Structure 1
Amino acid sequence: MCRCCSVLLVTRRTGGAKAVRLIRSRILHWPTDQWHQPEYFEDGILLIEAGRVLDLGPAERFMTEGLDVTRCEHYPTRLVLPGFIDPHLHFPQVDVMASFGAQLLDWLNDYTFPAEARYSDPVFAAAAAESFLDLQLRHGTTSAFAFCTSHRHSVEALFCAAERRQLRMVAGKVLMDQNAPDAILDTAESGAQDSEDLIRTWHGRGRLGYALTPRFSGTSSSAQLQKTGLLAQQYPSVWLQTHLSENLAEIAWIKSVHPQYQDYLQTYEAHGLVPKGALFGHCIHLTESETERLADAGGVAVFCPSSNLFLGSGLMPFEALQAAGVDLAIASDIGGGTSLSMLKTLADAYKVCQLRQYVLHPFEAFYRITRGNARATALEGFIGDFRVGQEADFVMIDPECVPLVARRVQSAKDLQGELFIYMTLGDEQLIVETSILGEPAYRTSAS
C-alpha cells in the first residue's frame, strides 16, 4: 500500500485533522548535504502524520495514487521550508539588542552583565522565556542552541516554556566563576552541581537537550573548566557550547587570564572541552595551528555575521575554515546580533563573505540554516529537512506580505534568484506560519 493510501485510511479512522495534515504548496528542502542539489516541488504535497513527515512529492503523483487533493490546505504562492535552526544565541540578551557604542568586552560589562543579573528573579526569567520563544516562532526559528544565564532557574524557565511548545531546543546554564559582577557569578562547585542536576532532569526529555556552557574561558577558572571537562566525559551525549577567538582585545585578555596556555583554543583543550561536535561561536581570528586542531577534533565554528559586524569584531574567514575542513554553522548570536531573523542573518553573512571574496550562493545559505545547521549540531536525524520520518517543523514564506519583496520576486528568473531576494530583503514579515510537529505554533492574522 502506498503512503498516500495509508494517509487516507488514517484520516478516515481518526477524523483526520489532528493526526494528519496535508499541505499543498511550493516546497523546498535539502535531503542530502549537497547544498547545490535541493529538492524543489513547484506544486508539491507534504503529508504529515503524528508530527512527522509521512510523504513528500509532486501533487501529480498523489493525484495519480488516488489522493483527494481537496483535503489539502492549498497555498500555491507560498514557499514551504524546514524550520530555521539557530545554533548560537543568548536568550537573556534580547533586552540588550541595539545597545549603542561598544566593542565586545565593554559591551559585556556595560550592557550584558547587568541585563543577565535581572534573571536572578525566577518570575522575571519565566516571563522572559515565554516572550523569547514567541519571538523565535514569529521569526521562523523552530530550534535553537541557547545560552541562558548563570542562574539555574533561567534554564528551567526556558526548558519549561519550550516543553509546552514541544520545541526541539538545546540550552545550558552559563558557567562563570570569575571576572564578572558578583550577581552573575557561580563557583566551580555550584556550577558543576547545577549543570549535572539540569542534565539529569532535562537532557533527552521529550525534544529537549542540554549543552554544557562555559561563557568563555576568561570568565572561568581552571578549576571550573576542569570540572566542566569531567562532566563532558561523564555525559558524552550532551552538547558543549562556548566562544572562541571573537575579538582581538578578547584574545589578548584571555592570554592574560590563562598565561600558561599557548593560545585561546588550548584553554579548552587542556580541560577536555573540545569534544567532537563542540560549538564554538565566532572563530574569527584563529591561528593556523588552532584551525588545524579544531578541524582534527571535529569542532564546529559558528559564523555569527550580524554580531561580528555590529561589535566590530572582524570578518570570519568562512571560506578558509571550510577549506581547512572545519565544520561550519550560521547563527544570529543575539543580542550582539541585531535580529532574530535568520533571513537577516543570511543577508549579513552574504556581505561578510563578499568582503572576503567568497560568494555565498542562495542554495548554500538556505541549506546552512536548515539541514546544514542540523548536521553541524548532530540533529540531522530529527530536523532540518523533509525526509520521511523527520519531525515536521516548517515555515511558510509569503512574498506578498512585503510589497517590495513581492515586486522583486515577480522578476526573479529562477528559484536561486527568488531565494536571494528573501535573504537580502526579507525578515520576519515574510513568515506567515511556523509549525511545530506539523501544527501551527505561529500564524499571521492574514494566513
Structure 2
Amino acid sequence: MRKTEIIILGGGAAGLMASCAAAQILKKNGAVLLLEGNQKLGRKLLATGNGRCNLTNLNASPAHYHGDVPAATPLLEQYTPEAVMAAFRDMGLVIKPDSEGRVYPRSLQAAAVLAVLRRSAEEAGVSCMLGNPAISVLKTKRGFLIKCADGEEIEAARCILACGGAASPKHSCSADGYAFAKALGHTVTPLYPALTQLLCKGKACKSLAGMRCPARAALLADGKEIYAESGEVQFTDTGLSGICVFGLSVYAAEFFALGTIGGKAYRSLSVSLDCLSDWSFTELCDYINEMRTAYPNRMAGELLDGLLNMRVGYALVQAAGIDPARSAKFVTPGQMQKLASLVKAWRFEITGTKSWQDAQITAGGVPLQEMDPLTMHSKKTDGLYLAGELLNIHGDCGGYNLHFAWATGLAAGEAAAKSLMKERKS
C-alpha cells in the first residue's frame, strides 16, 4: 500500500494549483500525491480560451458568479485577481490583461500555463500518478483510503477532491467526483450544462450559419428581460452562439433543467437581438427611408447592406415580410417600420441548450454551505477538502471560472498543508 500525506484527486486547474500550494508549505518530497485518471495533466486547461487560457479577470467579484454566491464571497474577497496573478508571477509566468479585463499569459499559450504549474509542482516535490483513476474514496481512522482502477490502494492523511465537473467530458476522465463527495457525506444539487450555445426554434439561424453580427442580446422569460449582454453573436445550424450568448446560457440552463431562473418559475424563454444598439428606432427608420428614396430601383434585400452583415440584413428584410427581390420603391412605410423594429428586437424562441459535450462548465454541485468558506475544508468529513468545478458555483464567461478554480485550489492546498503542520507540532 502506498502512503502519502495529502492526496489530490484531479490534475486539472484546481488540482494542480492545490498541489503547488500544499507542497510549497510541506517542503517534503512525496508528501503530496496528485492522482489523475487521464494520461496527461490539464487536458481541459489546454483548451481554455481557444488555447490561449483566459486565466482570470480583473473584474472578478461575487457579481460575476451564480449559485452559492454569498457562501463563496469570503473566498473571492481573500483570493483576488491580484493574488492569483501574483501566484503565477511567482511561478515565472508573465501575464497581460486585455482591454476588457480578461487576463492571459503574455505568450497567449495555455500550454505555458500548464508548463509552469507542472514545473512548480515537480520542483516542490509533488508526485504524480497518471492514467490510473480512483474508483473509491473511503474515510478511515487514519485519514483516507483511495482505491485505484488497477487495484492499487493509497492511504493519505488529507484528501482534496478536485475531480472537475460533468462539462466537456472529452477532456475529463470521469465525473466521479460527485459520487466521491456523496460517499463522504456531502449533497449535490442538480447539475446542468452552462456556458454553451442556445438552441432556437425555426430555420432562421440555420440559414445564417457561420454569420456573425454585433448585437445586444437580451434573454426574455415570459417576455420579460432577465439579463442582457452585448458582443458578437454567431448564428449556427441549431441556434445562437458567441460570448454574449454564453452569458445568457447560464440562466437558460437553469430554466431548462429546473423550469426556473433565480428560483422563480417561468413558462417560456426567448432571445431578443438588437443588431444596431447604438442607433435609435427613429434614426433607423430615417435611414431605411433615405435609402429607399435615394435608390428606388435597388432590391429591397439590399436596404441594410450599408449597416449590417449583408446576409443578416437580407434575412431581416425577409423576416419583415418584404420580398427581397422586389425594388425598394415598393416597400411601404409600414414595412419599413416593421423592418426597423426587427433590427432593434429580433426575437428567437429558445428550445434548449447544447449538451454536456459542448458546455464549458457545470452549473450545480456540492453546496458551498457545506464547506469552510476560506479553507474549502469539509464540514461533513474531517480532513477532506473540495476545489474547483465540483462546487455549486459557476461564473460568467471571461476567466471567472478559472479564477474560482485557482482560488479554491490555493485555499484547499494551503489549508490542508497547514493543518498537517499544526498536527505535527501538537
**TM-score w.r.t. length of structure 1:** 0.20
User: Which structure carries more helix by proportion?
Assistant: 1
Q: Which has the higher contact order (CA 8 A, sep 6+)?
A: 2
Bigger radius of gyration? 2
